Chains A and B, each alone.
Chain A
Amino acid sequence: MPLPEQVINQLSREPADTPGWSFGLIFFSGALLVIVLAIYFGMTLAYEPYLNTKIAAENSNLANLSQSISAQDEANVLTFYSQIANLQGILAKHTLVSQFLAWLEQNTEANVSYSSFSFSSGGEITLSGNALTEADVNQQIAIFQSSPDIENVVVSNVGSATSPGSAGAFQFSVTLLMNPSVFTEQTTQ
């Protein structure tokens, strides 16, 4: 039995072309290209200028900030800080020689007087003194040697007074190395 003509026609027709699939591929690839181009131009024409503007604004803010404190005020504060720091160092080593004179008055025997006095910044004191008797000289030297405020006592000379106007019959010379605290703080003696 022959096939119906309708079936023969259907079978003899060439397979249908697939224009939908091809169009879809072209559309997809074209869209991909367009998206990449859009991203590129968006970055270069919009976002990059935006970032650059923000950076410039931050730079400008920083510049304005640095000018918000006047150079004069800054210098004044720094000078004041420096003065306080320097004062701290100076006062820590401030010497009070008058305090030593008071100490010497309190630590001098009744019949002893001094004819010369010399003080140097290392705390070294050189004294020349006069005493009525040799016992007074000895007592004075003993006072120096027993004092905790003196680190070292060097007696360089003891002898009879030679100058006619001397206050005592005996003269002596002594070098004292004082404890630095005598010159820097109140002593209780």
Chain B
Amino acid sequence: MGLSLLFIMGALILLFDLVQPEYANFQMLKGQLAGEQALFATETQAVSNAQNLISQYKGQSGNAQTASLAVPAGEDLAGALAQVYGLAANSSIAIQSVGISAPDLQAAANSQGAQLVQPLGTVTFQIAAAGTYEALKNFLQGLETNVRIFDVKGLSITPISSNTATPGKSQGSQDFFTYDISATAYYQEQTNASTTP
């Protein structure tokens, strides 16, 4: 009888002091395992979507290159200057000077996915040039439709001589002007990774 009581007492002590805490620990481990399995399933789906996106991106390499030309990663001042001079040469206007303002970075304004959008930078070119009115129009159209986007923020036209000239109309007066053009180009903050596939 005494031995039986001893066994039962021992069983109860084992049950409450060892088995029960261990069971609680098990529940925690099983919860952790279930959580990690759910996370793995979610991550697998996300990775699958990302791989799908990457394959689509690789199929759009031409568009990606165009986007990189329109809004390059980094200021690419040399490229922008070359394009300005190239457009001027094609439009037959003579560039007298080009001033470049300090690059300015601004935070992305998009609300959706804004944390993924890298800050947009601007560089302003102050272009002093001379040429005919038609040449100016060609130059402006070239700037506005250039692959690297330029926004004309300011334009001033004055005749070369004191004689009255005629922007917009030719009435036999001298068609030669000096132009002060303020044009802004855009760039994206440079990342470590290359932007083209």
Binding site for B on A (CB under 8 A): 22, 25-26, 28-30, 32-33, 35-37, 39-40, 43-44, 47-48, 51-52, 54-55, 58-59, 61-62, 65-66, 68-69, 71-91, 93-98, 101, 104-105, 108, 112-121, 130, 163, 165-168
Distance A115 CA – B176 CA, assembled complex (angstroms): 11
Residues on B with C-beta less than 8 A from A43 are 19, 22-23, 26
Total number of B residues with any Cβ neighbor in A under 8 Å: 83
A-B contact pairs, 16 of them (CB 8 A): A29-B4, A36-B19, A40-B18, A48-B25, A59-B36, A76-B196, A77-B53, A78-B118, A90-B71, A95-B144, A98-B137, A101-B137, A114-B169, A118-B154, A118-B157, A166-B163
B99 within 8 A of A: no
Distance A91 CA – B1 CA, assembled complex (angstroms): 93
B195 within 8 A of A: yes
Residues on A with C-beta less than 8 A from B6 are 29
Contact between B167 and A26, CB atoms less than 8 A apart = no
Residues on A with C-beta less than 8 A from B71 are 83, 86-87, 90
Distance A24 CA – B51 CA, assembled complex (angstroms): 67
Shortest CB–CB separation between residue A61 and chain B, in angstroms? 6
Contact between B19 and A65, CB atoms less than 8 A apart = no
Distance A34 CA – B146 CA, assembled complex (angstroms): 86
Contact between A32 and B159, CB atoms less than 8 A apart = no
Q: Which residue in B64, B73, B169 is a CB contact (below 8 Å) of A108?
A: B169
* Chain B residue at minimum C-beta to C-beta distance from A27: B4
Q: Point out which of A76, A120, A165 has the most chain B C-beta atoms below 10 A from its C-beta.
A: A76
Residues on B with C-beta less than 8 A from A105 are 168-169
B68 within 8 A of A: yes
Contact between A58 and B37, CB atoms less than 8 A apart = yes
* Chain A residue at minimum C-beta to C-beta distance from B170: A113
Distance A96 CA – B153 CA, assembled complex (angstroms): 10
Q: Which residue in A29, A44, A120 is a CB contact (below 8 Å) of B8?
A: A29
Residues on B with C-beta less than 8 A from A28 are 4
Contact between A117 and B164, CB atoms less than 8 A apart = no
A114 and B144 contact, Cβ closer than 8 Å, known pairs A65-B40, A80-B57, A86-B188: no
